[in-house]
Amino acid sequence: MASVLVLKSSILGEFSSSTKLIDGAIEQFGNDHFVIDRDLAAHPVPMLDGEIMAGLRGAENPTQRQQDALALSDQLINEIQACDTLLIAAPMYNFNIPTQLKNWFDLIARAGVTFTYTEQGPKGLLTGKKAIVVTTRGGLHKDTPKHHITNYLITLLNFFGISDIEFVYSEALAMGEASAAASLEQASNELSDRMSLTS
């Protein structure tokens, strides 16, 4: 049975289009997968700061906060190491990914654990995994200069050793009910197609 790590990051709760798309796919294919569902908005991980960064790098005499952050980082890394497929909800907020999702990436970025430095440059250690990214937007940004979310996530995932990456786009969600409905239906169908290949 394939295992899927689901990362939700929308702050819109029940009104989130990206969450609805992913929940629909999991409802359809959940019996074929072992699913770890992590809602980073409902249960946010701490934002990286100097104290936490020092703790993740092995600070001497770590504070309780540093110990807690390291334990959480270990848990997050264990989850992604155990999964075959990473299913990421990445809505566009102000032309970037949500802070909640960025915080997750910051906590799993650990030299010697999820990546390492070599004479040829950084090498990702989370290999052999597939990533499916569901990205939703109010406007039309695909294939425009504002489309940097895709390149940013590709860069991040590649850094960790994940190169098998597919994107599902749902755009024009704030450009009228008809456009939104058509876009969501198309995205739902594309996500179903991609999830069916991970069973």
Binding-site members for FMN are 10, 16-18, 92-95, 136-139
**Nearest-angstrom CA–CA distance, 11 and 135:** 14
**Distance, C-alpha 143 to centroid of its chain:** 21
**Nearest-angstrom CA–CA distance, 167 and 190:** 9
Look at residue 137 and give its three-state secondary structure. Answer: coil
**Nearest-angstrom CA–CA distance, 197 and 199:** 6
Residue 149 in contact with residue 90, Cβ under 8 Å?
A: yes
Q: Which amino acids are annotated as binding site, given as ranges?
A: 10, 16-18, 92-95, 136-139
**Nearest-angstrom CA–CA distance, 65 and 189:** 43
